Amino acid sequence: MNLPKKLMLLGAGELGKEFVIAAQRYGNYVIAVDRYENAPAMQVADAFEVISMLSADDLETVVNKHQPDYIIPEIEAIRTEKLAEFEQRGITVIPTAAATNYTMNRDRIRELAHTQLGVRTAKYGYAATLEELVTASEQIGFPNVVKPVMSSSGKGQSVVANQREIEAAWNYAIANSRGDSQRVIVEEFINFEIEITLLTIKQWNAPTIYCSPIGHRQERGDYQESWQPAAISDEKILASQEIAKKVTDALGGAGIFGVEFFITKDEVIFSELSPRPHDTGMVTLISQNLNEFELHLRAVLGLPIPKIELFAPSASAVILASSKSDSVSFSGIAEALAETDVDIRLFGKPSSHPYRRMGVALAKAQNVTIAREKAITAANKVSIINS
């Protein structure tokens, strides 16, 4: 492997920003592409392009202009059929064009896991109209969970307790759907003990390896805090690793996968998969010798990963906006950083709106409980000022 390489990042959010930083530490040249200017990853990339991410012509233009060695998607809403064309021309698509196509839609990855691989998932159905959602909900039973087949960070997801709530869930899911999709998935409500992300690193010429499982808590379908390690048995860790390997082997390619599971008293149930660094994995910015972005980069470039070391029990907590503004600043940073083993990452998003993730607090401690308390306390000390 000769460096540097030219990497094109499709999607330039906060996860992409950390990946760009990791890539540049090895001298690589990165082009960040997104639908709006001054996106977080653009602020640190060597070059950037603003395009419609769903325009095949726009993708063709920027790829022809920059001639990247690698195309690395960071979001779901992309013309995946164009990625297959680029791959045929000799550009490496991460993890592969086919895998990206599978994982951009919840329906396809669910069908792969459940129907083709026989992996235990929640019972589920699909709907392209409100009437179909009513029928599917009655078949699945209540409570159930409704979400778009294509969305980012859990947006558009809601728990439906009874028939009266179906229409609101439909409207919310469609309003938050990404891309062209007007289809939702409805699935049984799993009474889980904990929801985890297993960061799974698939390598070109070395065995698949895993980070210590990450527990996380969601609100409105979006992650609010995560912690590592998650308190689950060795038996369930092995079971989740086996499932993650089965699914990622079927997808192929290389890179990090965020594989989500529901852990119940008796079962490990596959939930979702993202073929890229995961938002809950931001905890690894403080918890590990190699964070998820560095692991993704090494796997993509075929660089060795001799060891993944967990330094200490750690946690992350999001810093959320509460109002809409096109001019954002922050106070309370010094107060948050006064605590030992606490760090803050501000994403540099140019505007805010209610519940938008603007940053994250990170903490480590002697146990997960204290680490979570420290991360939440630090996040709460940071105030967003709309000027």
Residues with active-site annotation: 152, 154, 260, 272, 279-280, 357
98: amino acid identity, one letter:
A
380: amino acid identity, one letter:
N
DSSP per-residue codes, 206-245 = S--EEPPPEEEEEETTEEEEEEES----HHHHHHHHHHHH
CA pseudo-torsion sign 81, 210, 315, 23: negative
DSSP E strand stretches across the chain: 6-10, 29-34, 47-50, 70-73, 92-93, 124-127, 144-148, 158-160, 184-188, 194-202, 209-210, 214-219, 222-228, 255-263, 268-274, 314-320, 328-331, 342-346, 357-364, 383-386
Backbone angles phi, psi at 301, to 5 degrees: -85, 0
CB 345 within 8 A of CB 358: no
Maximal C-alpha separation, the chain: 60
Element (H, E) at 299: helix 292-301
List CB contacts of 129: < 8 A, sequence separation 6 or more.
none
Q: What angle do CA 315, 320, 326 make, to 5 degrees?
A: 145
| Residue 115: C-alpha distances to residues 118, 123, 124 (Å) | 6, 12, 12
CB 26 within 8 A of CB 304: no
The CA distance from 331 to 382, in Å, is 6
**What is the distance, to the nearest Å, from the Cα of residue 29 to the centroid of all Cα atoms in its chain?**
23
- Cis ω before 4 (30° cut-off from 0): yes
DSSP per-residue codes, 245-265 = HHHHHHH-S-EEEEEEEEE-S
Nearest residue to 83 (alpha-carbon basis) of 52, 110, 105, 60: 60
